[in-house]
Amino acid sequence: MLSGLFYREFTKVKDFTGDTQLSVLHTHLLALGMLVFLIVLGLDKVFQLSGSKLFTCFFWFYNAGIVVSVGMMGVHGTMTVLGHDDVPEVVPLVAGLGHILLTVGLVLLFIRIDRRLKELKAAKQPPAGEPERAATSV
């Protein structure tokens, strides 16, 4: 919420009317930070993903990626509003690192889901919340 407030007030104070990355910062934080974790929360409820080293690594890589990526969006957007058209090369490079961290986190999550599904299949247990199928005999 603060990023949306910052965008609105900062551009108003600076009489800025052009395009800036600050305008989508709020959306990125909601989608990457809240919606993804609501989905992961549901997946954890069904498949019991948390509590493993892989899940912990996913959590830290993904969150670090969010911080770095949206941090650089904030820096780039603020520089744009302030009239600095020459954004230093380091800003997009660090933003790229943030995207790499996000990707590593997601890959770790997918590996954890795959391993958990294989564990459940080997144990022949249905995921939590899924009723067991009764054997029918004719």
The rounded distance, in Å, linking the Cα atoms of 68 and 63 is 9
Reported confidence tier of residue 133, pLDDT bands at 50, 70, 90: low
Mean pLDDT confidence for 52-75: 97
pLDDT of residue 43: 97
Mean pLDDT confidence for 59-76: 96
Map out the domains of the chain as residue ranges: 2-123
pLDDT of residue 137: 56
Residue 22 has pLDDT above 80, yes or no: yes
> What pTM value is reported for the model?
0.84
Mean pLDDT confidence for 53-75: 97
Reported confidence tier of residue 128, pLDDT bands at 50, 70, 90: confident
* pLDDT tens digits for range 49-62: 999 999 999 999 99
Mean pLDDT confidence for 31-54: 96
Residue 136 has pLDDT above 80, yes or no: no
Mean pLDDT confidence for 28-47: 95
Q: Which residues contact 17 (CB under 8 A, 6 or more apart)?
A: 11
Among 89, 85, 91, smallest CA distance to 71 is for 91
The rounded distance, in Å, linking the Cα atoms of 99 and 63 is 11
Check if the beta carbon of residue 98 is closer than 8 Å to that of residue 68: yes
pLDDT of residue 3: 86
Among 59, 106, 74, 60, smallest CA distance to 10 is for 74
Cβ atoms within 10 Å of 36's Cβ, excluding its own? 17
